[in-house]
Amino acid sequence: MRRCLPFWARPASRPRPAPRSTPRFWNTTNRAARSGRVSGQGAPGDTEEDEEARPAAQPRPNPRTRATAPGRDQTQPDQRFVPGEIVVTNVPEGLDAGVRRLGFRVLERVTIKSLDLRIFRLQIPRRLDVDQAMEALRRAYPGVMTDVNTVFEPSATGRPASLARERVGWVPADDACGAGVRLGLIDGWVDLEHPALQGQDIEFRSFHREERKPGAADHGTAMAALLVGKPVGEGFGGLLPGAKLMAANMFEVNQSGRTVGNLVAMLRALEWLIEEGVHVVNLSIAGGNNTLMQLAFKKAQINGLVAVAAAGNWASDDRPAFPAALPGVVAVTAIDEKLLVYPRANRGDYIDFAAPGVEMWTAVPGGGKVQSGTSFATPYIAAIVGLAVARGARPNAETLRGLLGRRTFDLGAPGKDSVFGRGLVVGEPRCGT
């Protein structure tokens, strides 16, 4: 059931408090899926059960709560450690049985002969934080040396194969991830010669007027790479590099030198994508309402086309962006690494979900650059929806909202709200169809 709830952050200029119980999740493990208000495990299409409603999973105890001690700030790189663990050396005989009686569990024993070290890696009792656990062990075994299991990071400026996947906590994907999925994109010109897109399964058509030049390729190239970029070097790897992308340009340079899209070009592109049978179309564009557009999208939805669109970057409460605000379109807003909404993102009852979209590393002609906006959040939801439809989910916006809604990390006011919609969709989808 869709609920319209008030939220604290309506005016963009008003200070925005951090969402409640919001873990950092932008790393190679999807922590948001294991803590906070998570209503499911995994992503739509992961199992056959996804077609039927399932009760929301109960939140599990967060291992970070027992690992974080007063005075330890894990946001600082020199203080990060594996939660729930400590390491011990100078181990006396009989330690195994003794630590079990204290509530510890031996996870690993490591012998380093060349250094004459025997190290135990222990899981600490749930009731203790790491400092309390180490103190308890020192009292029981005064001669031991113990500390946290420190985390180290490479001290380099290189980027992982896919910053897009890393940003949402998905593991790196191989070249075939998304094979069998047909993605549609209505956006700007796409630079097919960009290293992230060379050799990818992309069919590109432009619907600009013959007498005009097409618009710049920055935005369209970024969207294409976020969706299907090759997972090699510079972090340009896309969410579903093995999917087929049908990319349509609807933008051109008008007589005033401004890059604009128009309704006719969008509808021509929409027709092409319907004919090609795409599983979802990504629309990282925004404009005003239009009766022809309403009719066209209604007909497209009858033909089984699922549309996912950007919520818009007008910082407005009362000016919805279209096509995102159409009833049959899934609307996506952008959040940053702290799970705060993008300051320029629109708000409104039409917002469905949130995804990463602030300071995104994106492919552009000649290289890459950092960009922000609801446009860059939209491919995350489009990729998940495309996988779900390719696996047999009904191509209907309400059905898909329900599937994704069972896998959201609720942000802001409880339930659906006008800032984050139903919240952040969590759970990494499987690559195959």
236, two tokens: 């340009």
329-335, strands of its sheet edge to edge: 202-206, 244-249, 182-187, 280-283, 307-310, 329-335, 353-356, 424-425, 408-409
Per DSSP, the three-state class of 314 is coil
Rounded to an integer, the average pLDDT of 216-245 is 89
Where do the domains of the chain lie, and which CATH numbers do they carry? 31-58+160-425 (3.40.50.200), 83-150 (3.30.70)
8, two tokens: 């604290």
CA pair distance 235, 199, nearest whole angstrom: 17
| Residue located via tokens 């000016």 | 319
Pick from 395, 422, 399, 426: nearest CA to 184: 395
Indicate whether 6 pLDDT > 50: no
Query: Quick check: 411 and 420 in contact, CB under 8 A?
Result: yes
Indicate whether 52 pLDDT > 50: no
Q: What are the pLDDT digits (tens) for 274-286? A: 989 999 999 999 8
CA pair distance 404, 215, nearest whole angstrom: 34
Indicate whether 247 pLDDT > 70: yes
CA 269 centroid distance within chain: 27
CA pair distance 10, 16, nearest whole angstrom: 9
Specify the range with the lowest mean pLDDT, choosing from 84-98, 159-173, 269-283, 304-318. Answer: 159-173
Angle at 200 between CA 187 and CA 369, to 5 degrees: 55
Enumerate the H helices of 361-407 as residue ranges.
374-390, 397-405
Q: What are the pLDDT digits (tens) for 55-112? A: 333 333 333 333 445 556 554 444 557 778 888 888 888 888 889 999 999 988 877 6
Pick from 331, 329, 334: nearest CA to 315: 334
